[in-house]
Amino acid sequence: MSKKNEKKMDAKKLAKELLIPRSSGFSQVSEKELEKANEFCESYKTFLDHSKTEREAVKTAVALAEKEGFVAFDASKKYKAGDKVYYNNRGKALILAVIGKNGCKNGVRIAAAHIDSPRLDLKPHPLYEQNELAMFKSHYYGGIKKYQWTALPLSMHGFLVKKDGSTVEISVGEEPGDPQFCVTDLLPHLASEQMQKTLAKAIEGENLNILVGSRPLDSDEGDNLVKLNVMRLLNEKYGITEEDFVSADIEFVPAFKATDVGFDRSMIGAYGHDDRVCAYPAVMAALAVEAPEATCLAVLADREEVGSDGNTGLNSEFMRYFIADLAQMEGMEPRHVLSLSKCFSADVNAAFDPTYASAYESTNSCYLNGGVCVTKYTGARGKSGTSEASAEFMGEVRALLEKNDVLWQTGELGKVDGGGGGTIAKYVANMNVDVVDLGVPVLSMHAPFEIVSKTDVYMAYRAFFTFFDAKD
Ligand code: MN
Ligand code: MN
């Protein structure tokens, strides 16, 4: 048989039929959608600036929800379709729920994000003086590259309980004119020894000391007068003593505000996109959905960055108890409701970074502007420490997003054996819920200044809304 006579195939046509289009997601979004994305992101930036800690994120979200008619949940009440309630767990985690027409009958729909981010916490005895400088001892929280946290303006966000039981909130460094703080670093001229160390060792955790004062108390006697002067100022302003640091949650975070990035303003740079960039869209979806079929939950969890343990994290019972209350109101067994429920574990993924291309596998990475990333599994060392969405649930989610024109993509977290990570997905999946990770791609994840695309943020909102609004 001669090759000449064979009918040539139309590669273009066949590729269109069989292959995933590899064009940039950006080209698939209309001008009108982009405008909506820009608008959505203006309020997202405002949310970020007011929600730098989990406590602040809960407060901001509750305020937004109350404006839309959400009221505090009361387990002794009965709710009807369209009712909007919230459950505030210790001021650090939050569930917003919109009661569906079918209630819990066919399970609930959950979008669960986290509102804690890597940061510097204070130790119980933080304040000390050395060589006439006053400093705070910190204990970092979550996965940080320690060198990124030196020589960076920081703000202080604290909640303290005084001896008499009264509480005081401290926020310093966010308002114009406020003082700010920082961890010092060694000048390059004297850093020849430090520069030989690995990035992991160059800045030790015990050296993340925060500079908070340098002028001594005006007195002829006594030691540690710089420390005493700082304590005096804190006492004057907040009525606290040194011992009150023992009963306190105090976090130091980057002091800068969220800002547009790029000449085209296509991106947002900010502290704490991971995971407020999923939390905010999930909240807004819960606020926007009217009379859904299934009861919908937007869950804002704490403690994800340290493994989700603790009573405000999702490796605890707080969400299960809440769903149990809803189930029992309707005369259902909580375990039956959970078994029928579906969840988007709303968390970020690592956007492909061409500067560090070798850490990624380019055919299975998510990209900035590619839309919301649906991640089948995370984990490390051969899918350890993760749940995995089933083919069936992936199929369902994919069809749902396609049908509603939500720009989406899929990707793994970097190269196999390149490292890895996890999300809250497995804790929810372990309750016998169908779960998939779905969230926004982030550049420089866990750095003090993280980057996301405005289009992707908006697509996360569209994905959560579509999920909440879906037919049961
Ligand atoms: Mn996260
Ligand atoms: Mn994280």
- DSSP annotation string for 296-344: EEEEEES-GGGTS-STTSTTSSHHHHHHHHHHHHTT--HHHHHHH-EEE
426 alpha carbon – ligand 2 mean position (Å): 15
111 alpha carbon – ligand 1 mean position (Å): 13
Only one residue has tokens 């320690």, namely 146
Q: Are 347 and 440 in contact (CB under 8 A)?
A: no
For residue 389, what are the CA distances in angstroms to 147, 364, 381, 441? Answer: 36, 16, 18, 19
Which ligand has the nearest atom to the CA of 347? 1
114 alpha carbon – ligand 1 mean position (Å): 7
237 alpha carbon – ligand 2 mean position (Å): 34
Q: Are 143 and 168 in contact (CB under 8 A)?
A: no
278 alpha carbon – ligand 2 mean position (Å): 12
373 alpha carbon – ligand 1 mean position (Å): 13
Only one residue has tokens 């650090």, namely 92
Which ligand has the nearest atom to the CA of 114? 1
446 alpha carbon – ligand 1 mean position (Å): 9
116 alpha carbon – ligand 2 mean position (Å): 8
Q: Which token pair is 331? A: 């005369």
Which ligand has the nearest atom to the CA of 277? 1
Say if strands 154-161 and 167-172 run parallel, antiparallel, or are unpaired.
Answer: antiparallel
195 alpha carbon – ligand 1 mean position (Å): 31
Q: Give the number of other Cβ atoms within 10 Å of residue 333's Cβ.
A: 12
384 alpha carbon – ligand 2 mean position (Å): 17
pLDDT at 273: 98
Q: Which amino acid is at 50?
A: H
pLDDT at 7: 77
pTM reported for the whole predicted model: 0.96
225 alpha carbon – ligand 2 mean position (Å): 40
pLDDT at 22: 67
446 alpha carbon – ligand 2 mean position (Å): 6
469 alpha carbon – ligand 2 mean position (Å): 28
375 alpha carbon – ligand 1 mean position (Å): 13
List per-residue pLDDT tens for the chain, 472 residues long.
Answer: 556 666 788 999 998 899 887 666 667 899 999 999 999 999 999 999 999 999 999 999 999 999 999 999 999 999 999 999 999 999 999 999 999 999 999 999 999 999 999 999 999 999 999 999 999 999 999 999 999 999 999 999 999 999 999 999 999 999 999 999 999 999 999 999 999 999 999 999 999 999 999 999 999 899 999 999 999 999 999 999 999 999 999 999 999 999 999 999 999 999 999 999 999 999 999 999 998 999 999 999 999 999 999 999 999 999 999 999 999 999 999 999 999 999 999 999 999 999 999 999 999 999 999 999 999 999 999 999 899 999 999 999 999 999 999 999 999 999 998 999 999 999 999 999 999 999 999 999 999 999 999 999 999 999 999 999 999 8
Which ligand has the nearest atom to the CA of 306? 2
